């Protein structure tokens, strides 16, 4: 039974360390990028509205591949662009118009009845949906971007590391005490 508890304790400690490292990477990457983290060439965006449901649920995180200026897109591609109010929007391309100076994309949210009013200039498109979605994880990411969330995501892992260190130190001291008592009893 003691071996099973020791194995479970080791697994739990390893799991906590992995969680702590992931949370630290998340917080640091969010703060370093000044917004959404970029990992392995993908940038992660939080879905803030239901305009693309059922494709993306509100609160999900989607991965987009950042695009180069002048890159072209096809009908039905899902793109993230900056609208006239400087907001990031992720919608599906429904029509493409080529002018002499620019390519214009008509976009529409899957859950919206009509197309977006303003066509999207190709220079305003920042990324294309990469096919990866993490449902509802955006709520955590938005919380991590807040001051309280950042503080807690740094404080809680630190507290867990400190607690783990104290428990390890206590176990070590108890082990030394038992060894000392056993060697004293033999003498």
Name the 3-class secondary structure at 185: helix
Question: Does residue 169 belong to any structural domain of this protein?
Answer: no
Question: Does residue 50 belong to any structural domain of this protein?
Answer: yes
pLDDT in tens, 36-82: 667 777 888 889 899 999 999 998 989 999 887 778 899 999 999 99
Q: Residue 96 phi/psi, 5° resolution?
A: -130, 130
Question: Does residue 36 belong to any structural domain of this protein?
Answer: yes
Residues 6+ apart with CB under 8 A from 88: 45, 80, 81, 82, 126
Domain coverage including residue 78: 22-160
Say what the pLDDT of residue 55 is: 92
Question: Does residue 153 belong to any structural domain of this protein?
Answer: yes
Name the 3-class secondary structure at 33: helix
Query: Residue written as tokens 């799991």?
Result: 15
Domain count, the chain: 1
Residue 20 has pLDDT above 80, yes or no: no
pTM above 0.85, yes or no: no
Residue 30 has pLDDT above 70, yes or no: no
Token pair of 130 as six digits: 């990469």
pLDDT in tens, 166-187: 988 888 888 888 888 888 877 6
pLDDT in tens, 118-160: 999 988 999 999 998 988 887 877 777 778 877 777 787 778 8
Question: Does residue 85 belong to any structural domain of this protein?
Answer: yes
Domain containing 81 — which CATH number? 2.10.109.10
Question: Does residue 171 belong to any structural domain of this protein?
Answer: no
Q: Residue 162 phi/psi, 5° resolution?
A: -60, -45
Question: Does residue 4 belong to any structural domain of this protein?
Answer: no
DSSP state of 57: -
Q: Residue 106 phi/psi, 5° resolution?
A: -90, 130
49 is catalytic: yes
Question: Does residue 15 belong to any structural domain of this protein?
Answer: no
**Catalytic one of 9, 33, 49, 165:** 49
């Amino acid at each position: 039974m003691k071996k099973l508890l020791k194995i479970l304790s080791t697994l739990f400690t390893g799991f906590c360390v992995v969680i702590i490292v992931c949370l630290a990477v998340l917080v640091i990457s969010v703060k370093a990028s000044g917004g959404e983290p970029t990992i392995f060439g993908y940038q992660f965006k939080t879905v803030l509205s239901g305009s693309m449901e059922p494709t993306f649920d509100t609160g999900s995180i989607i991965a987009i591949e950042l695009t180069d200026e002048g890159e072209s897109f096809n009908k039905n591609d899902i793109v993230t662009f900056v609208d006239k109010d400087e907001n990031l929007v992720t919608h599906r391309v429904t029509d493409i118009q080529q002018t002499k100076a620019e390519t214009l994309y008509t976009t529409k949210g899957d859950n919206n009845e009509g197309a977006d009013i303003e066509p999207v200039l190709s220079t305003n498109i920042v990324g294309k949906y990469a096919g990866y979605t993490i449902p509802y994880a955006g709520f955590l990411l938005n919380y991590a971007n807040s001051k309280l969330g950042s503080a807690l995501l740094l404080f809680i892992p630190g507290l867990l590391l400190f607690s783990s260190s104290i428990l390890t130190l206590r176990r070590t001291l108890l082990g030394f005490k038992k060894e000392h008592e056993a060697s004293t009893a033999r003498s």
